[in-house]
Structure 1
Amino acid sequence: MDMQSVGEAFIRPGQVLVDRGAVSAAARWTQAVSEADGVTVLHLSSGVDPCEITAELRDRGFRASPNHVLTGQPLFFGGPASRPFPVPPVPFRPGRSRSDVVVALLDTGVAKHPWWSGGDWYSRLGPEGADAAQGAQAGHGTFIAGLLARTAPGVRLRVRRVLDGDGLGDEATVVRALHRMRDDPPHVLNLSFGCHSFDDRPPPLLSDAIGALRDTVTVACAGNTASDRPFWPAALPCAVGVAALDAAQERRAPFSGYGTWVDACARGDWLTSSFLNTGEFGGYAAWSGTSFAAALVSGAVADAARREPAKEAVDRVLDPRQSRQIPDLGVLVPASL
């Protein structure tokens, strides 16, 4: 993926996301305009700085953002959260439980696995939901799907691939996917990826798209940044930002993001789940990252939502009177996996 680094954030060169009304205001800087699924992208003329144009348009009252590059969390440059490790088969029987709760999983897609053989959601999975199967983070979505299946038995997954096999996607792709959900919103939305923004302010188009899903509980990972710098979309007020704890569920995992913007925490260290059946892997892996802590919180909310609306379920799951609250990590959501 073509990208450039700006202020420790990554963006797609020469691209700015805007609301439709900004097109004419940016005409003199624009070489082309592309529109799909409610998303307008300005393709800027050579040499034009997308961050400067974003600032100019915002000063004039328009919604605008560079097309930030979003990455799955784990990252792929070393450390305990960098890669999966093969493990023997993990015991789990899907059982006959069925839930009416729908969890949308935007990620690398989901591969075939015994844990969902016969599942109606997987039988309807189209090419847009299949795992990319190649790359440093291939299997990321499959791993998360297994955590959701185990923490919310019988849950129905709605899978869309927005990240490639290296765990990379961009803001425009994610916002388009979110816009397509408006007519049939899920109960819970799991976003195990994110980014820093070029100015550390919330990306407005991404915020608008998540906020429009008013009855959906959006859960996002706090990032494997080991810092308190806001990580988006987890830091948005309309999202539940999730940090990772160590395997003992006592302390922050060393790689996890943290801060006052984090709402919840769950185990994110050395979890086991479903994976690709390829190479040294026989369909199972151990992996670490805030991506997977977020999935455990999504699963807890989805399981509670079997009995009450999702917005009420999340309030109960994150009730500080019911569980320990950890400074800069939010409310602990216990996991028994």
Structure 2
Amino acid sequence: MAVRFVSPDPDAYPESGAVEEAYLPSCPAELLERHGARVLRPADAMVVAGWPSERSSRFLPTVYRANALLMPAEAWNDGPTRSGIEGVLRDMGLQALTSGSDLRPAGAPVSLALALLPDASARTIDAWEVLQRMREASSRERAGLDPAVVRRFSLDHLMFTGVGLTGVPWDVTGLGERVNGGRAGGRSRIPVSLPGPAPSRPALARRPTVLVPDSGTGPHPWLDVYDPSQGGQSGDEFIVVAPDIQAAILENEKLLASTAPVELLVGHRDGPMTTDPLIGEVAADAGHGTFIAGVVRQAAPRAKVLAVRIVHTDGVAYLSDTLLMLHKALDRVRAAQKRNGDPDLMIDVISFSIGYFEEWPSAAKYTSQLAEVVGKLTEHGVVVVAAAGNNATTREFFPAALSTRLSGKGPRVVGVGALNPDGSKALFSNEGAYVSCWADGVCVVSTHPTDIDGSETPDHHVPALGRKGFDPDCFSSGFAIWDGTSFAAPQAASAVLNALIEVAETERTPLTDCTRSATRKRAEAALDLLR
């Protein structure tokens, strides 16, 4: 396992110019329709004078859900602000639907599902236009809408995994992984055999925990799962799931599904295997979370994984779900760090293999709800590791790009690029001053759900003799080779987990001490050890 922590020189990445800033790969229409999404193309988009406020700044391309807006809970719960919001919507013939559930953690943003008023004239619902109208109203000092508050209103961005040489799902629809060249048949993922048993797991007083927000869990003999909702005591399983977090995500998606397409994420199990049942090709990211868990199982066997299903099998996640998950994670950390708190709730590391391009990156440090909650987590000593993305661009990819934007108390975010087996930087990997670590991300071997078998078949088959050619999408062996910064990130996270154990053993700061000061001290010492 090659993992290199570096101190990037900002001067090595001068202003990339309009071409790189405007970079956004082509997003298949099929994928946009599946998630009720739009691509923001600044040349065609509505703009408001004074937004962005920086004279030298401009909006950049991104992808977002057309029917949803996110806003801070304190803004929505403030009477005058809510009246101002509802007034703008009413003028547009729209209304905001919200969830009445109490599953949303305190401090988490409120999702608004945008819908037509019953007596409204026909119109297109576009969250970007709604956001711009609210900005315009605040600039005109409309009652209840303070510009400083409106700056924190956000689109519900689509987030994508860092998989495949061109960054699936940023690809030509219908060709699957064949366009991602690099191995037999131009595939990024192929089944393989792996000799030998799973690495042993020596006992620890407390196993450091890495939160993996991804596509969920799939069956594999190396990856035993403890589900608290099923009752009983944990038997030191490698993976633990969080039914409370899954319930909050499902509630949010039910709200969004009331006005636009959403494939609901029910439970922690990965699926469906295909997004096109009449063709039967394996979905682009089916097994993605299991593969990441297997990377940690090999590279940091003494740790454990908290798996949260947040990514659909086409590789898409929603920012609203991600923010809910992070606020629930923050609640767990706070509970663990209380006096007489439960150390089993502690989260030491978060490994992100998803991200998005922000349309207003210059303001992300101050206005982004993602930056806000990630900053709070790092202040509590949680190490956040995030994939840099697979688009061969220097354009900032969030949350990895927060590595240069958050400088408060606590460990810095780690942005991770991908290396080839020979140690060179992978051609597809994003790069920039925010990439502070490089790890293996090409031809990575890890666990894969054993129940995935796509519709492709061997070229030759001799049933009578039990002979056939290679089946390119039968993963019954339980292992695969795959590429992407998605798989570099958990290797970096594993290095951090191992360093946390080493620091705990050598500096006598036991992992069972989950106080905020001890957690932060241990995290910073671990990162110092790796640099």
SS at match of 1:128: coil
Q: Provide the rounded CA distance (Å) in 2 between the counterparts of 1:300 and 1:54.
A: 41
Contact 1:244 1:256 in 2 (8 A): yes
Q: Provide the rounded CA distance (Å) in 1 between the counterparts of 2:199 and 2:272.
A: 23
Contact 2:240 2:307 in 1 (8 A): no
Confirm or deny that 1:310 pairs with 2:523. Answer: yes
Q: Tell which deviates more after alignment, 307-316 or 181-190.
A: 307-316
- The equivalent of 1:50 in structure 2 is 127
- The equivalent of 2:251 in structure 1 is none
Q: How does 1:1-337 map to 2 (within 5 A)?
A: 1-7=35-41, 8-23=61-76, 24=82, 25-27=84-86, 28-29=88-89, 31-35=95-99, 36-37=104-105, 38-44=108-114, 47=124, 49-54=126-131, 56-57=134-135, 60-62=147-149, 63-74=152-163, 75-76=168-169, 77=171, 78-80=179-181, 83-99=188-204, 100-117=207-224, 119-122=236-239, 128-134=267-273, 135-185=283-333, 186-201=347-362, 202=364, 204-213=368-377, 214=379, 215-237=381-403, 238=406, 239-249=413-423, 251-277=424-450, 278-279=452-453, 280-281=474-475, 282-308=477-503, 309-317=522-530, 319=531
Q: Provide the rounded CA distance (Å) in 1 between the counterparts of 2:242 and 2:478.
A: 19
SS at match of 1:10: strand
Matching residue's letter, 1:194: G
Matching residue's letter, 2:37: M
Q: Provide the rounded CA distance (Å) in 2 between the counterparts of 1:232 and 1:90.
A: 37
Q: CA deviation at 1:3?
A: 1.1
Q: Provide the rounded CA distance (Å) in 2 between the counterparts of 1:48 and 1:219.
A: 35
Q: Provide the rounded CA distance (Å) in 2 between the counterparts of 1:197 and 1:265.
A: 23
TM-score by length of 1: 0.86
Q: Provide the rounded CA distance (Å) in 2 between the counterparts of 1:9 and 1:80.
A: 26
Q: Tell which deviates more after alignment, 73-82 or 134-143.
A: 73-82
- Superposed CA offset, 1:205-252 (max 9, x none): 111121121210000000011000000111013421111111111x22
Contact 1:94 1:154 in 2 (8 A): no
- Superposed CA offset, 1:100-119 (max 9, x none): 20110100012121213475
Q: CA deviation at 1:199?
A: 3.0
Q: Provide the rounded CA distance (Å) in 2 between the counterparts of 1:200 and 1:142.
A: 32
Q: Tell which deviates more after alignment, 162-171 or 33-42.
A: 33-42
Contact 2:357 2:396 in 1 (8 A): yes
Matching residue's letter, 1:294: A
Matching residue's letter, 2:376: A
Contact 2:240 2:304 in 1 (8 A): no
Contact 1:90 1:284 in 2 (8 A): no
Q: Tell which deviates more after alignment, 23-32 or 181-190.
A: 23-32
Q: Provide the rounded CA distance (Å) in 2 between the counterparts of 1:4 and 1:91.
A: 47
Matching residue's letter, 2:269: A
How many residues align? The count is: 317
Gaps of 5+ in 1: 320-337
SS at match of 1:114: coil
Q: CA deviation at 1:170?
A: 0.5
Higher strand share: 1
Matching residue's letter, 1:310: A
- Superposed CA offset, 1:124-150 (max 9, x none): 676733222523201000000011111
Rate the CA distance shift 1:50–1:133 in 2: closer, same or farther, 3 A. closer
Rate the CA distance shift 1:11–1:266 in 2: closer, same or farther, 3 A. same
SS at match of 2:435: coil
Q: Provide the rounded CA distance (Å) in 2 between the counterparts of 1:211 and 1:175.
A: 12
Q: CA deviation at 1:154?
A: 1.9
Contact 1:146 1:274 in 2 (8 A): yes
SS at match of 1:110: coil
Gaps of 5+ in 2: 1-34, 42-60, 77-81, 116-122, 140-146, 172-178, 225-234, 244-265, 274-282, 334-346, 407-412, 454-473, 504-521
- Identity, % of aligned positions: 28
Contact 1:94 1:116 in 2 (8 A): no
Rate the CA distance shift 1:116–1:154 in 2: closer, same or farther, 3 A. farther
Q: CA deviation at 1:176?
A: 0.3
